[in-house]
Amino acid sequence: MMTLMSEITRRGFAASGLAPLLAAPAPAADAIPERRLLTGQRTAETIASLLIAPRAWKPYPQRADRAAWEAVPPQVRESVLAAASHVKDTPYPPLPATLFLQFARNGNRSHYEDVWTVRRTHLRLATLAECLEGKGRFLDDIADGIWTVCEETFWGYPAHISAQKRGAGLPDVTEPIIDLFAAETAAQLAWTLYLIGPALDQVHPLVRERVAVETERRIFAPYRDRDDFWWMGFDGSRAVNNWNPWINSNCLAAFLLLETNESRRARAVHKIIRGLDRFLDAYHDDGGCDEGPSYWSRAGGSLFDNLELLHSATGGRLDYYSVPLVREIGRYIYRAHIADHWFVNFADASARIQVDSDLVYRYGVAIADRDMQSFAAYSRPAEFRLPDSLGRDLPAIFNYATLRKAEARAPLVRDVWLPGVQVAAARSRAGTTAGLYFAALGGHNAESHNHNDVGNFILFADGEPVLIDIGVETYSAKTFSPQRYDIWTMQSSYHNLPAINGVMQHEGRRYEARDCAYRSDDKSAEFSADIAAAYPDSAGITRYFRTIRLDRVKNELFVEDRFELAKAGGAIEMNLMTRDDPAPAGPAALTLGGRGVRFQAEGPSVPAMRVEQIAVNDRRLRPVWGDKLRRIVLSWRGLPTSGSLVFRFRA
């Protein structure tokens, strides 16, 4: 073990410079005021007095509760048993050293992660099938899965090893690392033992004992003893992101279910609540998620997982659903919705996502938000689908009948303004996808999962994309490395933004939007920001003020870019990204998108225009955009020191 891990640490990260962006410095956590929204004045002793005793806490029916499991809706039962039948008696696939080493050797992370996922999916399905059947048919399969997982050298992803530096050095291989998926593994094993632990003793009591030993060594001891994992938010090394609630939710489940020492259990829960406070401290009051809606599931959604566990394990005595920020974080998910499965997807987020409808529904119930509940029901797939972990599978199974009865309606909010993350969105009319919709971003270029995209905007017509934000390709070592911005999807020229005198935007906190504002009424909605500071000095730009106005009466989007260059004779090259072939419609004019939006560009002169095709082969992007994207490039040269570029989009 030590030789393998040392080789990965020494060669894979230190020598090749693949230290993840996740570990890069960001605004220090200690610069963010502590609000203690959840902790308040509570101590570990207070928490101990509130917690239900470990053996008395029964959050969901266990295997032995046959009446509850036999009452599961037939659609759910059939779906789970059919999936489990495909993995039963199938060996758990191996995870050899060479697969583990691929990330260090060539930057590929997906091959290892795919097999890691297959193992845990197999174990989840077998566990749920055994609960549904209750006949012991899957017990050996489950025992094999538990043993296989416990034999793994590392429960997490190789890509995350160097993200967990201790002090100034790389991690000591004798000290277990808690990353996202080590914590996920601990929670899965904890839920497995909770559901079928006594039945597993029919295989052998050693199976349960092994889980206790491995969880203590890999998760419980390091969580209790260390404050320097950056995602905890305690050491001030960087601002936290979705790693904080995601890891904490899984550690919380494991502590609540497996820790038998009540004093240690209460101290761990108290520490987790303190950590969640650091996550909330980094959030703006508007609840906006700078990582985008596809990460909301593991940002706001994982926060909710924590709050639900705390609520349940204290019999409702820890109830945080009246906290305004908790409520706003929940509402973000439907505020980012455009139409169908399309969402506002700045940064690494995907433009098309299938939300976890049960998670969204339960969050909506908890904060008494009818729009959120209706949106969840609207988003529910026609067939039952398990979420992605036992901790979410269980409520989805037992809440399915309730969700099916809920009113299904997309709120389709008319105006969204999140001043903290500087995201605006507007549609022609509330409650309908008919007409135009735009979303725009101010912000800065050091956000979590950042792209160099300050001032970017997207445009939809009748619920279909016209101008797009591409998103991100399949993760590799390069994605979270110092070479991140060598990747084309991260660069400003592959967003709906200009290159100025041949220079693109730069990454870093000081590259930001200024004077960002939004206003709206029944006739129009307008977003504006000066994005000149998002470009380095070499761009020669002193002011670049972008105004995006939706005319709700004329069904038209008007974009005006007023520029001030350091000297005359400069060049601006405007880039516009689209998925469909544009059709010529006159000088500097095109017809865009399947809805036939007419586009017209104006400026000091008629620009040169070209359309580039970009082949899409990536397995993450292709299901969203198809096999090709198009970049429209409009070029102005010999510009005066100041002027305006105007772009009109009319449905």
pLDDT for residue 454 is more than 50: yes
Q: Name the class of domain 415-650.
A: mainly beta
Q: Where are the beta strands (DSSP E) in 241-392?
A: 337-339, 342-343
Distance of CA 131 to the CA centre of its chain: 31
Of the chain, the end-to-end C-alpha distance in Å amounts to: 62
Task: Give the per-residue pLDDT at 593.
Answer: 87
pTM: 0.93
Cβ atoms of 333 and 296 closer than 8 Å = yes
Look at residue 642 and give its three-state secondary structure.
Answer: strand
Alpha carbon 284 to its chain centroid, in Å, reads 17
Beta bridge partners of 108: 476
Secondary structure (3-state) at 198 = helix
* 8 A C-beta contact, residue 480 and residue 241: no
Q: Taking CA 164 as the corner, what is the angle to CA 162 and CA 165, rounded to the nearest 5 degrees?
A: 80
| For range 94-101, the mean pLDDT | 94
Residues 6+ positions from 612 with CB-CB distance below 8 Å: 630, 631, 633
Residue 628: which residues within 8 A CB-CB, separation 6 or more?
579, 613, 614, 615, 616
pLDDT at 172 over 60: no
- Scanning the structure block, which residue is given the tokens 């806490």? 57
Instruction: Report which of 370, 380, 385 is spatially closest to residue 404, judged by C-alpha positions.
Output: 380
**Could you give phi then psi for residue 314, rounded to 5 degrees?**
-115, 15
pLDDT tens string 614-648 = 999 999 999 999 999 999 999 999 999 999 999 99
> Which is more confident, 3 or 382?
382
List, for residues 257-307, the tens digit of each pLDDT value. Answer: 999 999 999 999 999 999 999 999 999 999 999 889 999 999 999 999 999
CA distance 12 to 649: 48
Predicted pLDDT of residue 31: 67
Residue 453, pLDDT score: 97
Q: Which residues contact 428 (CB under 8 A, 6 or more apart)?
A: 434, 435, 436, 437, 550, 552, 555
The whole-number pLDDT of residue 120 equals 98
> Which pLDDT tens digit goes with each residue over 463-491?
999 999 999 999 988 998 899 999 999 99
At 10-20, the pLDDT tens digits run 333 322 233 33
Q: Residue 16 has what pLDDT?
A: 29
Question: Which amino acid, one-letter code, is at 77?
Answer: R
Residue 236 has pLDDT above 50, yes or no: yes
Distance CA 536, CA 643 (A): 20
**pLDDT tens per residue, range 528-568:** 999 999 999 999 999 999 999 999 999 999 999 999 999 99
| Range 606-621 burial, b when 16+ CB lie within 10 A, else e | ebebeeeeeebebeeb
| Out of 155-164, 225-234, 465-474, 531-540, least confident range | 155-164
Please state, in angstroms and rounded to a whole number, the distance separating the CA atoms of residues 368 and 321.
9
CATH 2.70.98.70 domain locations along the chain: 415-650
Q: Are 138 and 127 in contact (CB under 8 A)?
A: yes
Which range has the worst mean pLDDT, 198-207, 523-532, 589-598?
589-598
pLDDT confidence of residue 32: 79
Q: What is the mean pLDDT of residues 184-198?
A: 98
Work out the angle between the directed axes of helices 243-258 and 300-313 (0-180°, nearest 10): 20
pLDDT of residue 162: 63
E strand segments, 472-607: 498-500, 508-512, 514-520, 524-530, 541-551, 556-565, 570-578, 583-584, 589-592, 597-602
CA distances from 112 to 119, 147, 196, 452, 483 (A): 11, 19, 29, 29, 22
- Is 536 buried (19+), middle (13-18) or exposed (0-12) by CB count in 10 A? middle
Sign of CA dihedral 110, 113, 119, 121: negative
Query: Measured between alpha carbons, how far is 617 from 236 in angstroms, rounded to an integer?
Result: 40
